[in-house]
Amino acid sequence: MGICLKGGMVVNADRSFYADVYCENGIIQLIGQNLDIPSDTKVIDVRGTFIMPGGLDPHTHMQLPSMGTVSSDDFFSGTSAAAAGGTTMIIDYVVPDKNDASMFPAYYEWRERAQKSAIDYSFHMNITSWSDKIAAEMKQLTDNEGINTYKFFLSAKGSLMLADEKLILGFEHCRKIGAMPEVHAENGDMIEFMQHKLLEQGIIDPVGHPLSRPPKVEGEATARAIMLASMVDCPIYIVHMSCKDSVSAVRRAQAAGIKVFGETCPGYLVIDESVYSNPDFTFAAAHVMSPPYRAKEHQNTLWNALHAKTISVVATDHCPFNNNQKALGKNDFTKIPNGCGTVENRLEILWHFGVNTGRLSANEFVALTSANAAQIFNIYPKKGRIEVGADADIVVWDPKKEKTISAKTHHMNVDFSVFEGITVKGCPVYTLSHGKIVYENGQLCTQKGDGQYVKRLKYTFK
Ligand code: URP
Ligand code: ZN
Ligand code: ZN
């Protein structure tokens, strides 16, 4: 039986128009007025709402082993929470072992873990060491397994960080095999230097976290990564940008014709670094992620960068840890597991603080939450567009509906919300994944295993 969404306004990244949308067999079949649909169709009256492409969150870490523990959402709880927030696809990061280990065991492990996803998913691969073997495996993963993006770390010295000589080889290789590098752009040498200094001075509390990774650390690494990639003629994607310094590096490069894409996260747009000086360790530690939340003055620059298209994607970097996990760093801020859980809140935060304030149009909202990521990661218009033939991954959005965000009521498996107490106006009323309702007016109806693995084709660079 098909579903028809009747009476709403379709909002794509490029235009909006009133139309009914009929979905069957997981696909959008018809869009228009007075549709000729089967008599047994489930017709849903969605007058007063926006019918938008379901969110595509291209940066998540479900059940990620990290810093001596594992992020607290698994692929079912995390993707269910995503659906409750209007997101219908995630791209998660596979983390292989270091020291030249094959990437395939990790890839298969992530495929196995993700079997229980409630919505569609795909993978990026972290590059944690460099060798001819890794290079050969990257080609296999890109040719055969649908992975066309590889994340390189300029931070995390002693674990994930790669030296420039390896980055150059890695970026050049991405270009060759039709893949795109992504970078975690913070200067790992400088972070280590600052962490030692701070600990020597007796600064062990979470306040040391932003002090050890100031904006310059991000600006330097962003500019360096972009320049290295451009010198081997390779497009590059900068994940989780948080500050003016990285925005100006990206803006400068784009103005010079260099192909670089920027991503930021909802928290960076609305939360500032004062959270780290809170005397309550639990509260401060719950905000520890990298890069850290910044001084308020950076937020305006990020909003402007969204409007100016310097940054084209808002992702979450969802990586939740419970308060007892964060306590691993009680006596040393460098040991606090890095990450926050926000996969459920991305759309509502961006709508409330972006669209309701007039900073963004509804069309820009769609671009930032799905369409741009679908294009950048090569799965458009299967994802990211309300169009006949596209996957019926849809969020029906009520711009008048209000809700107060709280860890007590959210669906993420984490006991803290960095957005606790914020009342947002504009929420999903229905989320459809492959034409099936997975969220309806506060009720989750996701099923384990309904999500499908989405292979992403390699790029054909000119
Ligand atoms: O603090 C963060 N961002 N944790 C997740 C891992 C990463 O670097 O994206
Ligand atoms: Zn990162
Ligand atoms: Zn991340």
Instruction: Read off the pTM.
Output: 0.98
Q: How remote is the CA of residue 181 from the centroid of ligand 2, in Å?
A: 13
Does ligand 1 have an atom closer than 6 angstroms to the CB of 289? yes
- Angstrom distance (rounded) from CA 20 to CA 34: 8
Does ligand 1 have an atom closer than 6 angstroms to the CB of 339? yes
Per DSSP, 14 falls in state S
Per DSSP, 391 falls in state B
- Angstrom distance (rounded) from CA 444 to CA 431: 9
CB 448 within 8 A of CB 76: yes
The ligand 1 atom at the shortest distance from the C-alpha of residue 288 is: 1
The per-residue pLDDT string of the chain (462 residues; one tens digit each, 9 = 90 and over) reads 999 999 999 999 999 999 999 999 999 999 999 999 999 999 999 999 999 999 999 999 999 999 999 999 999 999 999 999 999 999 999 999 988 899 999 999 999 999 999 999 999 999 999 999 999 999 999 999 999 999 999 999 999 999 999 999 999 999 999 999 999 999 999 999 999 999 999 999 999 999 999 999 999 999 999 999 999 999 999 999 999 999 999 999 999 999 999 999 999 999 999 999 999 999 999 999 999 999 999 999 999 999 999 999 999 999 999 999 999 999 999 999 999 999 999 999 999 999 999 999 999 999 999 999 999 999 999 999 999 999 999 999 999 999 999 999 999 999 999 999 999 999 999 999 999 999 999 999 999 999 999 999 999 987
Does ligand 1 have an atom closer than 6 angstroms to the CB of 437? no
Helix axes 297-307 and 244-255, enclosed angle (nearest 10): 30
- Angstrom distance (rounded) from CA 329 to CA 331: 5
- Angstrom distance (rounded) from CA 368 to CA 421: 25
Q: Which residues surround ligand 2, an ion (CB under 5 A)?
A: 184
Please calculate the CA angle 248-312-268 and round it to the nearest 5 degrees: 65
Ligand nearest to the CA of 290: 1
- Angstrom distance (rounded) from CA 250 to CA 240: 13
Per DSSP, 292 falls in state P
User: Which ranges of 92-146 would DSSP assign to H, the alpha helix?
Assistant: 104-113, 132-144
Ligand nearest to the CA of 291: 1
Q: From the CB of residue 164, how many other CB atoms can be counted at a distance below 10 Å?
A: 11
